[in-house]
Amino acid sequence: MKTVMEGSNAVAHAIRLCKPEVMAMFPITPSTHIPENLAQMVADGDLDAKLITVESEFSAMSATVGASATGVRAFTATSSQGLALMHEVVYAAAGMRLPIVTTIVNRALSAPINIWNDQQDTISERDSGWLQIYCETNQEAVDTMIQAYKIAEDKRVLLPVFVCMDGFILSHTYEPVDIPEQKDVDEFLPPYKPEHAFLDPDKPMTMGPFAYPKPYAAMRKELSKDVMKAKAVVKEVHDEFAKKFGRSYGNGIIEEYKNDRPIAIVAMGSVCGTIKEVVDKRDDVGLVRVRCYRPFPKEELAKALKDKENVIVFEKNVALGLNSGAMYPEIKDVLYSAGSKARVNNVIGGIGGIDVTKENVENFIERLKDKEGVVEFLGGDPNE
């Protein structure tokens, strides 16, 4: 049954259904309502979990790593500067192969300080070894949280997952969402049975040890291979969820929307809803939504884009020093490798929470549909 609720509350209910045993939290805007709602669930006896209130986001991820290392299901949530403060431990979590799930409510990074949405925070962690899945709607955020634990805990993966939802645009918006029944989630997501539990006094082992160059390089190579192999599990879990709950999101990796037109826009997150409205009114443009950004969907994008005349990559991040978004050169590489003749352009928009309207989308399509190699920055003029 659908219920109208705030996005953050809906995600908290999804986490409740996953039955984490330890949650370490330090609230930060705009993710604050997730720990608030989870704390209330624990206080009310609706969730049997240890809630650790820590003094910083660094400690939140550290405590989450420690909990996961004992073999229990662990969770945390953060945004922006909080994720930046977690940076050191984020890398450790992936290197230690801990199946942690974290909700990232995407927010701009300072300076200057900005509390509104873009995706710079998670894009800055794209090489950390965490899987990254970006949601378009609150319903998708709910469903993806449940999928994420099954992906992370799969013995073929054993990697942490960021579930990314746009700050305020999703987290503070009230939408109809279908919260699954506990019994159905229990059937889909069985209790966590760790492949390895580090912190076991009866079976002591070293965690995150010092490594000389050769073993370090070997472990990084293995991690890189396994991140790429995780894509098959992301798709498999998505398909299993779709079969059981009746909701799907493309093929779990990308979503193609009316992608039988000569121009394709590639984008991630909630802005795809706006782009779809524009696509519905035109006959020359389709959308390819990247849902799973890490591992990067090379093969899927090559197939979806190889016959296009023009590809417009829309991004909510800036790769400073490259003068483009981070995904733009990745898309160009995909198309070059596929032998595509498509012209590729880049639009950076929504930075710091600037609205991206249907008129914005219409305008950049018209400006760029016959261009090649153009990088536009929407809203970059403080006098606009």
Asked if residue 384 has pLDDT above 80, the reply is no
Contact 64, 75 (CB under 8 A): yes
Residue count (the chain): 384
Cβ-Cβ contacts under 8 Å for 341 (sequence gap 6 or more) = none
Per-residue pLDDT tens for 325-364? Answer: 999 999 999 999 999 999 999 999 999 999 999 999 999 9
User: Six-digit token pair at 75?
Assistant: 């969770």
On the question of a common fold for 2-245 and 254-377, the answer reads: yes
**Cis (ω within 30 of 0) for the bond into 190?**
no
Backbone angles phi, psi at 133, to 5 degrees: -125, 130
Q: Write down the residue that tokens 């595509």 correspond to.
A: 340
User: Six-digit token pair at 281?
Assistant: 């009114």
Per-residue pLDDT tens for 118-155? Answer: 999 999 999 999 999 999 999 999 999 999 999 999 99
CA distance 79 to 149: 20
| Domain range summary for the chain, segments of one domain joined by + | 2-245, 254-377
C-alpha triplet 64, 130, 175: angle, nearest 5°: 80
Per-residue pLDDT tens for 210-240? Answer: 999 999 999 999 999 999 999 999 999 999 9
Backbone angles phi, psi at 111, to 5 degrees: -100, 155
> What integer is the mean pLDDT of 244-257?
98
What's residue 204's pLDDT?
82
Task: Please name the amino acid found at residue 9.
Answer: N
Asked if residue 249 has pLDDT above 70, the reply is yes
User: Six-digit token pair at 7?
Assistant: 């996005």
Q: Write down the residue that tokens 């054993």 correspond to.
A: 158
| Percent of the chain scoring above 90 in pLDDT | 94
Q: What is the CA radius of gyration of the chain?
A: 20
Confidence of residue 379 (pLDDT cuts 50, 70, 90): confident
**pTM: predicted TM-score of the whole model, two decimal places:** 0.97
Pick the CATH number of 254-377 from 3.40.50.920, 3.40.50.2300, 3.90.1150.10, 1.10.10.10: 3.40.50.920
Asked if residue 383 has pLDDT above 70, the reply is no
SS (HEC) of 80-133: HHHHHHCHHHHHHHHHCCCCCEEEEEECCCCCCCCCCCCCHHHHCCCCCCCEEE
Confidence of residue 202 (pLDDT cuts 50, 70, 90): confident
What's residue 200's pLDDT?
77
Whole-number average pLDDT of the chain? 96
Angle between helices 138-153 and 213-245 (to 10 degrees): 130
> What integer is the mean pLDDT of 160-179?
98
Q: Say whether 367 sits in a helix, a strand or coil.
A: helix
List, as one string, the DSSP characters of 169-208: TTTT-EEEEEPPPHHHHHHHSPPP--S--S--TTS---SS
Asked if residue 382 has pLDDT above 70, the reply is no
Task: Please name the amino acid found at residue 255.
Answer: E
> What integer is the mean pLDDT of 8-26?
98
Whether CATH 3.40.50.970 fits 2-245: yes
List, as one string, the DSSP characters of 22-53: EEEE---TTSTHHHHHHHHHHHTTSS--EEEE
User: Six-digit token pair at 74?
Assistant: 């662990």
